[in-house]
Structure 1
Amino acid sequence: MRTIERLLACTLLTSGCAVDEAGLLDGSEGLYAPYELDAGLDPTPEPGETAGSPASVSTGTNAESQAMAIITALADCPGSNRLIGILENDTIECDLDGTIPKYWSATPLFSSGSPALEALSPSLPAELARYCVYDYVGPEDELESDGYAALFEAVASSSQMPLNSLGADCRGQFGQSNLYDASVGAELEQAFMANIGWAEGEDIDLASPTRARVEVAVLDTVSPEVASDPELQPNNAHGLHMAALIRAIDCPAQRSECLDDVRSVLALPRADWDAAADWTRGGKLGTHADLAMAVFEAAASWRQRRETDPKGTPPRLVINLSLGWNLLGDASTDLTRGPAASTLAAMRYASCSGALMLAAAGNTPDELCPELHAGPLAPASFEELPAPSLSECAAMGFLSDDPYPIFADADADTGAYVPLTHAVGARDEFDQSLLNSRPESTPRLVALGTNAVLDANGAGDSLSGTSVSTAVASATAALLWSYQPKLRPDEVMQLIYASGWNTGALADFDLLGESPEVHRLSVCAALDAACEAGSASCPTLACAAEPPAVDGNLSGLMTAVNAVLTSPQTNIDGYELDEDGKAPVCEESAPLNNLATTQPDIPICSRCNLTIKAGSTVRDDQLSMTIVSSYAGSLASVRLITADVLGQPEYRDLDSLVVASLNAQPDPVDVTTVTLEASDAVSASLQFTLLNGAVYSNVIPILEE
């Protein structure tokens, strides 16, 4: 952190601070010194407050620690020149009676934060009207000298906003003839559908076409404008991939009405840490506020359309969150401060609107040292929070005059499992955790998260990660709801969970703190369970969740890969790797960062694979690689990372000749192969470092021959 910022916080709010030569406050423990706040989620609200609302705290005697908490959060918070605070009540304006200093703009978050919110016509609920965004729009040098101090002084001097409700809006949201032969893609797609229990999905959909409409809002990198106009190219296509995967599962018969009900909502509008929001072409990153606005937009827009055009708007809403933010210190997830509190408030609004929300448990930024990045990402971690009850929704002002009927008797159903959101983890074809999964982050529900091909002709890229598994779960929820629309959101999810395959593992987190069994989703088994209650539109099924196939349903893929490798038309560049894998050396602690991003717009090597050959012959396993042509010439280094059945990772750095061969694709090289010893590998990924320093990782399948 800049010394001047810590000094300003002290001189503004107390007279007893000193700064040593290292730029640390006397008594501190360094840049990430712990601090305490005397505010928490108030479990016993006063009249006019609601359970879990940010508690009001005096800005007097504890002002120094409150300001220091904000300053520390700014140091931990990449690219943040934005703060969010919470007004004492909704009758106050965000400009605090005109006292906001020069170069700072004051904006109501949920009514003016984005073009899409400005277009909404319903009046804003009082609870959400309290959230204010403060953006610095002046010269950077003046921000470093006294910009923050001036804003802190204005807030501290006002009785309209508690200083300890102010927080830095961190940009930590994130959302994954050669081997691209169509036969390889087709086998990947067939294996994926078989492994999620939906190989017969198209036939079932065609035989039972009478379904209620369900809207799926995909909160991701893509705006509605880009999603509806093929001439507009997004800055990052992750959101298009997630929407395509949801359509493939929810709408296998490709009926236009079903396809159109999958909508894109821009939640990640920033291309880089310090970039302004691009509300048309989107980006790959977002802030707490960006996500909060997107959640509110998805629910409020749907409610508005339900009220103005009830017959033309789907009566049910699923919100897919294939994204998450890293836990950048306590301040970034402090639910008493504006940034995280705004996301929580928006999600409560969506829950009170009857929306079903699903969120990705998250991927690790370091596959060699995953223990340094443990625990689920938010908002998946919000599965540990209960959804608001009907009475709490009413107290927050989040119900309309005609409450949505899908709550039914949820308040009285004491045995219901009703978290604010449902987290989704990922498994591979053999029920193994993905190599890029975060430790201690497994929720009670997991789904296949590997090798999702998103092109009807088998020519597209395959994606892997918890983004994929979350999209699978969201699509399954929409499918069930379309056949049984009278179910409550929690009932839909309970059917999906109860009908899944028991993996034998226990969840790391859940609403009740009971470490339930981890179940892997099966689409057909879930639909079968939902239809047991009977419905005129339901198909007649006999589906049950199954253990992983012995071959992971990858035998067809092996055949297709071998056909490519043995074809006389394939130009193969082969190499040998004599070195054994190396164990990683991990630091005792990792710096706080936001590297757990989605995969690159186009995965570098989505068709790469590692073949493990049977028998005792040493160094006969084979890594086969064809990269996307747009990355040819841009690779600086490549590392193969594998893990054994105990999850112990090791790495192998590929030779510079191998890197040169990959850079020479697709002409004259079609496929680059490396023979090596990796017989104990059960999961694998490739880590690519580009000449510009960017690092991307692709999970790759392991084939057994």
Structure 2
Amino acid sequence: MGPLADWEATNQAFRRWQRDLFLEQVGALRPLPTGNTAVHIAVADTSPDGDGYKVERGRSKHGYTMAEIARSVSCPGKVAPDKMWNECRTDVITTLALPHITNEVTSSKGGYFGTPVELAEAIYRAVAKWQQSADEESNLVINLSVGWQPESTGAVLGADPTKPVPAPENAVLSALRYASCHKALILAAAGNHPRGGSFQYGPTYPAAWQSLAAPTTSECRYFLSDHESPPTEPAGSHTPPPIFPPSVNGELGNSLVFAIGGTNRAHMPIDATRPGSLSRLAAPAVQGVAGDPNEIPVALTGTSVATAVVSGTAAAVWSHLPRLTPLQVMQIIYESGMNMKSTDTHLLADPAYTEWLREVNLCRAVSRALLLGSAREIMPACSPSTAAFQVPAPGPKAQSMIDALFQQSTQVNASGSLIPPLSSKNLPSIAAAPWVHPHPIDPGCGFACYLKIMSKSIVVSIDPAYQGGTLSDMVLLVRYSDQSVDTMSPAPNIKMSRSPPNNRFSFIGLPLSYTPNRQKYVVEAKLSWTVTNKKGRAGSTEESIPFVYQ
């Protein structure tokens, strides 16, 4: 077994297939009308501070991926960067919120995680960058595809004004209120539920602050400096019925933060949905990727991706209707969304949401914005279908990579029996408190793991750049269109790392229960691992992987 001739050259065709697959599912692959007003999307994440033509890649590509997904969705049909910048009025701002390489070492070029205080500083810088570059009508969307685990399942921090909020968390809360007072629309990932661990109920912070109301005009006088004026409502505007809960008594209102959940290709909550985290709005979250066609990063799955999709959709709506308030933009996105139901009520932030869940639909949101505005563009034809998204076959170049990886891997007969869901493991997630992490974190195998459904096999190839440690106790979870799940451990005794010969295996003979006529077909596949670092400390991680019908 030898290495592939050229790692990057071999996989770019496969990544382009993944990118087109994702943008087609979101509705951003074909052109849609874009407005004439500039909108800024600020992504506080792993990318270094920047704005302008090119989004910088940090050590982790998470921030770059989120920024490029948001931009591609805001400018549907304009994937190539040269076309995008000529025809699209979206400006992407990046501010570094996660600068830590280790607990002690940080880098201005980006890291893998951060602290709440560093996130707060990134939010303030995002507002400042927008103020420096924005014209009078420009609006700001703040994308927070990051979060930290709540340290208890009690009341949301800040909900009780008589109880002080710890200083690091209060720094973020104050920054969010400051941004809200500048009429920023703030979107945050609801978070992913990792294997094992504790304190997994409810959304991660800052998405948990969806239960707090945005500050009023009088309250904004407290958060703004003396020379700044609180926002005023545009002349003739009206406040539509609110859609998110600012208080525990069920009264609806304008939230400080809008928490975004994730959906799979059957328009159902992704497997990593945290119990008690799913609010009223979700978006496609499986295998999301975008960016430079010649350097497409690894596809990611999680509420990070969904949040970037909603950020791009909000920018597309706002570019047509710049005088709307953030709540009015969200109302358009919500009302134009696709109805969806969660059969798992324990996933919902409020059981009453069962009848009110919506999945974002970019085309329908843009159509509604055109209908409400004065633009004379031809209304796009939007498909109302709620059928599960069917995964097309990869092209010849992508197929060549699939074949090469399979041929150059160590082939192992998989264990032929299913196992119970992983509820007994209690390893802490490697994305643990008190640090702020992307959602999801960087995957161990990324593009080079894929499930071959018809042949009932899986290829697992660890990314040479993976820094996490040794991967063991691999478990594969496969979710189907009827929401049934197969859980299996193909080879429980095999340990993998980024170095040969332990970096590439094929497991054959998986006990999959799909039906060949596709009445029951795969909508999500996910690997879980135990991760052991160089110091012998064990944690857990998981990642969604692509699949092909071969």
With the shorter chain as reference, the TM-score category is: 0.7 to 0.9
Partner-residue secondary structure (3-state), 1:525:
helix
Task: State, as a whole percentage, how many aligned pairs show the same letter.
Answer: 27
Matches within 5 A, 1:428-447: 428-447=264-283
Instruction: Tell me whether 1:473 sits opposite 2:296 in the alignment.
Output: no
Aligned length: 501
Preserved CA contact (<8 Å) 1:234 1:282: yes
Name the CA distance, whole Å, in 1 between partners of 2:473 and 2:376: 52
3-state SS of 2:40 partner: strand
Q: Residues 197 and 568 of structure 1: is their aligned pair in 2 closer, same or farther, counting only changes over 3 Å? A: closer
Distance 1:509 1:235, change over 3 A: same
Amino acid at match of 1:498: E
Asked if 2 retains the 8 angstrom alpha-carbon contact of 1:220 and 1:266, the reply is yes
Q: How does 1:24-173 map to 2 (within 5 A)?
A: none
User: Which whole-Å CA distance do the structure 2 matches of 1:569 and 1:345 have between them?
Assistant: 51
Q: CA deviation at 1:470?
A: 0.5
SS in 2 for 1:329: coil
Residue 425 in structure 1 maps to residue 261 in structure 2? yes
What corresponds to 1:345 in structure 2?
Answer: 174
Please say if 1:190 is aligned against 2:20.
yes
Whether contact under 8 Å (1:638, 1:653) holds in the other structure is: no
Aligned match for 1:282, one of 104, 110, 113: 110
Q: Which has the larger helix fraction?
A: 1
Q: Where does residue 234 of structure 1 map in the other structure?
A: 58
Q: Distance in 2 between matches of 1:458 and 1:276?
A: 28
Question: RMSD over aligned Cα, in angstroms?
Answer: 3.9
Residue equivalent to 1:365: 194
The counterpart of 1:214, out of the listed 23, 35, 39, is 39
Change (3 A) 1:400 1:478: farther
Contact kept, 8 Å, 1:450 with 1:699, in 2: the verdict is yes
Instruction: Give the Cα–Cα distance (whole angstroms) in 1 for the partners of residues 263 and 414 of structure 2.
Output: 29
Match of 2:518 in 1: none
Letter in 2 for 1:605: G
What CA distance in whole angstroms lies between the structure 2 residues aligned with 1:558 and 1:431? 25
Unaligned runs of 5+ in 1: 1-176, 614-619
Q: 1:383 to 1:570 in 2, by over 3 A?
A: same
Secondary structure of 1:536's aligned partner: coil
Deviations 1:601-640 (A, max 9, x none): 4652324222333xxxxxx511133432335996442513
CA distance in 1, matches of 2:460, 2:427: 31
Give the whole-Å Cα distance in 2 for the aligned partners of 1:301 and 1:459.
Answer: 27
2:17 is aligned with what amino acid? E
Using structure 1 for the length normalisation, give the TM-score: 0.62
Equivalent residue letter for 2:283: A
Residue 340 of structure 1 aligns to a residue whose secondary structure is helix
RCO greater where, 1 or 2, for CA within 8 Å and sep 6 or more?
2
Aligned-pair CA distance for 1:471 = 0.5
Q: Where in structure 2 are the equivalents of 1:161-560 lying within 5 Å?
A: 180-201=10-31, 204=32, 208=33, 211-224=36-49, 234-251=58-75, 252=78, 253-255=83-85, 258=88, 261-272=91-102, 274-275=103-104, 277-278=106-107, 280-303=108-131, 305=132, 311=135, 315-329=138-152, 334-335=157-158, 336-337=164-165, 338-366=167-195, 369=196, 373-394=200-221, 396-397=223-224, 403-405=230-232, 413=239, 415-417=241-243, 418-454=254-290, 455-457=292-294, 460-505=297-342, 508-509=348-349, 517-536=356-375, 538-549=377-388, 552-557=389-394
Cα shift readout 1:149-196 (whole Å, capped 9, x = no counterpart)? xxxxxxxxxxxxxxxxxxxxxxxxxxxx88954443232222211211
CA distance in 1, matches of 2:207, 2:73: 22
The equivalent of 1:162 in structure 2 is none
Q: 1:359 Cα shift?
A: 0.3
Distance 1:701 1:568 in 2: 14
Partner of 1:14: none
Equivalent position amino acid for 1:389 in 2: T
Please name the residue that 1:11 is paired with. none
Separation in structure 1 between the aligned mates of residue 395 and residue 415 of structure 2, nearest angstrom: 25
Q: Which moved more, 1:646-655 or 1:446-455?
A: 646-655
- Tell me the SS of whatever aligns to 1:215: strand
Could you say if the C-alpha distance between residues 600 and 508 of structure 1 is closer, same or farther in structure 2, counting changes exceeding 3 Å? closer
* Residues in 2 aligned to 1:333 and 1:358: alpha-carbon distance in whole angstroms: 17
Structure 2 Cα separation of the partners of residues 569 and 591 of structure 1: 32
CA distance in 2, matches of 1:458, 1:271: 23
The residue number in structure 2 matching 1:625 is: 460
2:476 to 630, 633, 641: 641
Change in CA separation of 1:589 and 1:333 when aligned onto 2, cut-off 3 Å: farther
Unaligned segments of structure 2, at least 5 residues = 1-5, 159-163, 244-253, 515-521
Aligned-partner SS, 1:254 = helix
- The alpha-carbon distance between structure 1 residues 350 and 539, as it changes in their structure 2 partners (threshold 3 A), is farther
